[in-house]
Amino acid sequence: MIPVRGYGGQRVAVLGLGRSGLAAARALKAGGAEPLVWDDSPEARAKAEAEGLALHDLTRARAFEGVAALIVSPGIPHLYPAPNPIVAHALAEGIPVDNDIGLFFRSFATPEWNRFDQPPKVIAVTGSNGKSTTTALIHHVLQVAGRPVQMAGNIGRGVLDLDPAGDGAVVVLELSSYQTELARALTPDIAVFTNLSPDHLDRHRGPGGYFAAKRRLFAEGGPDRAVIGVDEVEGRFLANQLSEGPGDDRVIRVSSGTKLEGPGWSVFARKGFLAEWRKGRQVASIDLRAIKGLPGAHNHQNACAAHAAVRSLGLAPKLIEEAFHSFAGLPHRSQLVAERGGVRFVNDSKATNVDSAAKALQAFPRIRWIAGGLGKDGGIAALAPHLDHVVKAYLIGHSARDFALQLGDTAHEICETMEVAVARAAAEAEPGDTVLLAPAAASFDQYPNFEKRGEDFTARVQALAAG
């Protein structure tokens, strides 16, 4: 646990008692504060009370008397589309509003660090797509290198559940826009921006607000090194703002598909090969084509970002390449779950928007595509340029019929359920085909989350393989 510093002897309200909220309350208590906790859910309140945490009804008119700050869980809106009423009350009263990420950055460093030979480092990863894989890949490479490393944030553990840092330790954080937008402290040593595509636009009142939330990690944080994906205009703009000129190697530009030239520091992938350039010459190269845990151009972009981040810590390219080969990938993110009769079955349930689905559709040559769920604005119309690898689509969930209308001449079948879709795709697949779950939609029509959807796909594939 990371005890929260700066609130000793003070009352701090905590709204939302999921993983991050409970961890924040415990860490506040460990740091000498008096956490006052609340959640709309009676079950969540009962769980907190059973831990000995003090319930405090934040819906009451004078709930913030004597309260030093309000700590808000990421899923609770504080600005758009409208502030949660409790947050609005705190804003009106002038109570500082923060989240667990802000508490972490104000509390992670301690006086004990003065005795360390190597000060601990924090690598923070944000972006629209690929941030989980990039975070996990950085963590894996550092583990293989023998560095003491922990992973947390939007993946793995809550940030305040981490162990205090030791000599030379590294913490790798995945941070969503919900987390970066509100944190009052953001001070990573290395910050990574993977890419940007439209998502969570209601929460941020449009693409500008969404980009601004991501940008805070760099503008507010002032990292020593910034790794920036420059395949979109927002990334190029961000890299330009952070750099003092073309040769400023505090900014490492990353691309999948574009050769990056110039006197600065860059890492890019083309035709399956990663290349690192610095001061106008190539200093490293990795053949990514045979790395099973990183299929497709989108994963090659993740590999470039991870390579750049760990190179910033001084790791050798040869060691990084060896670690890449032992990376198994993450569940629900281009995860190879089975091979049967020359047919691959790939679970990319995390592809919940058209941009991530497009990347998955470009990763394999012949695809039996399982798609559908609770569609987002625009459906899958934007995927039309990426359907050339699709042999046939098998559509499930609430938006199956709407998706069918947007597929044009692409062969398709409305299957409704995962059970039917997997059975039909497996029955029709030929050697060399990939049965790909890349829904391009949310899961909430049939599943509580994308993980459960991916687990259902995996279980049905494994049942076929067993049969």
Q: What distance lies between CA 173 and its chain's CA centroid?
A: 9
The predicted pLDDT at position 292 comes to: 83
What whole-number distance in Å separates Cα of residue 423 and Cα of residue 11? 56
Residue boundaries of the structural domains of the chain: 11-98, 104-325, 335-466
What whole-number distance in Å separates Cα of residue 242 and Cα of residue 223? 10
What average pLDDT does the chain have?
A: 94
Percent of the chain with pLDDT over 90: 87
Neighbours of 77 (CB within 10 A): 16
User: What's the token pair of residue 6?
Assistant: 């700066």
Binding-site sequence positions for ATP: 127-133
Environment class of 391 (CB within 10 Å of its CB; exposed 0-12, middle 13-18, buried 19+): middle
What whole-number distance in Å separates Cα of residue 427 and Cα of residue 411? 15
The predicted pLDDT at position 201 comes to: 76
Distance, first Cα to last Cα, the chain: 46
Confidence of residue 317 (pLDDT cuts 50, 70, 90): very high
SS3 376: coil
Confidence of residue 315 (pLDDT cuts 50, 70, 90): very high
Per-residue pLDDT of 43-91, as tens digits, reads 999 999 999 999 999 999 999 999 999 999 998 999 999 999 999 999 9
Confidence of residue 436 (pLDDT cuts 50, 70, 90): very high
CATH number for the domain whose boundaries are 11-98 = 3.40.50.720
Pick the CATH number of 335-466 from 3.30.559.10, 3.40.50.300, 3.90.190.20, 3.40.190.10: 3.90.190.20
Environment class of 455 (CB within 10 Å of its CB; exposed 0-12, middle 13-18, buried 19+): middle
Entry pTM: 0.85
The predicted pLDDT at position 279 comes to: 93
Query: What average pLDDT score do residues 341-357 get?
Result: 92
What whole-number distance in Å separates Cα of residue 333 and Cα of residue 342? 21
Q: Is the pLDDT of residue 467 over 70?
A: no
Binding-site sequence positions: 127-133
What whole-number distance in Å separates Cα of residue 279 and Cα of residue 270? 19
Q: Is the pLDDT of residue 129 over 90?
A: no
Q: Which fold has domain 104-325?
A: UDP-N-acetylmuramoyl-L-alanine:D-glutamate ligase (3.40.1190)
Confidence of residue 7 (pLDDT cuts 50, 70, 90): very high
User: Which H or E run contains 237?
Assistant: helix 233-242
Q: Is the pLDDT of residue 236 over 90?
A: yes
User: Which H or E run contains 324?
Assistant: helix 317-325
Question: Residues near 226 by Cβ (< 8 Å), separated by ≥ 6?
Answer: 190, 191, 192, 193, 218, 238, 239, 242, 250, 251, 252
More confident of the two residues 332 and 124:
124
Are residues 182 and 76 in contact, defined by beta-carbon separation less than 8 angstroms?
no
Per-residue pLDDT of 83-109, as tens digits, reads 999 999 999 999 999 999 999 999 999
Task: Identify the bridge partners of residue 97 per DSSP, sorted by sequence position.
Answer: 70
Query: What average pLDDT score do residues 193-198 get?
Result: 90
Environment class of 85 (CB within 10 Å of its CB; exposed 0-12, middle 13-18, buried 19+): exposed
The predicted pLDDT at position 198 comes to: 76
Query: What average pLDDT score do residues 257-272 get?
Result: 94
The predicted pLDDT at position 258 comes to: 94
Dihedral in degrees, nearest 10, Cα atoms 368, 370, 372, 373 = 180
More confident of the two residues 16 and 157:
16
Are residues 294 and 329 in contact, defined by beta-carbon separation less than 8 angstroms?
yes
Write the single-letter amino acid at 305.
Answer: A
Neighbours of 243 (CB within 10 A): 17
Q: Is the pLDDT of residue 249 over 90?
A: yes
Is the dihedral angle over the CA atoms 131, 132, 137, 140 positive or is it negative?
A: positive
Dihedral in degrees, nearest 10, Cα atoms 403, 406, 409, 413 = 10
